[in-house]
């Protein structure tokens, strides 16, 4: 509900759900859309996620990983960049 009402944090969280297929049908393209809208409204976590995701997509083997593993690598990379 919050994502549809424009909450950037809700858009980010819903994007994660779509990316991982948690409680909703997995849809990476739609997840990307929510991350992008949230980023365009100034949401730092969405910006970080998209930046790291784009870097990881350049690695051929990244697409072979399951979604939970992809998410793990993305979030760990973001965390290590923040430290």
Local confidence band at 12 (pLDDT 50, 70, 90 cut-offs)? very high
Contact 26, 71 (CB under 8 A): no
Using left for φ > 0, alpha for ψ between -120 and 50, and beta otherwise, residue 27 falls in: beta
**Residue 5 pLDDT:** 67
Arithmetic mean of pLDDT over the chain: 89
Closest C-alpha among 68, 75, 27 to residue 51: 75
Q: What is the pLDDT of residue 50?
A: 95
Q: What is the pLDDT of residue 78?
A: 87
Residue 83 has pLDDT above 60, yes or no: no
Q: Is pTM beyond 0.85 here?
A: no
Q: How confident is the model at residue 7 (pLDDT cuts 50, 70, 90)?
A: confident
């Amino acid at each position: 509900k919050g994502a549809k009402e424009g909450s950037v944090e809700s858009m980010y969280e819903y994007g994660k759900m779509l990316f991982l297929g948690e409680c909703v049908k997995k849809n990476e393209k739609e997840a990307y859309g929510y991350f992008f809208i949230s980023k365009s409204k100034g949401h730092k976590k969405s910006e970080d996620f998209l930046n790291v995701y784009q870097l990881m997509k350049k690695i051929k083997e990244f697409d072979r990983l399951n979604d939970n593993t992809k998410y793990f690598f993305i979030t760990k990379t973001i965390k290590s960049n923040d430290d």
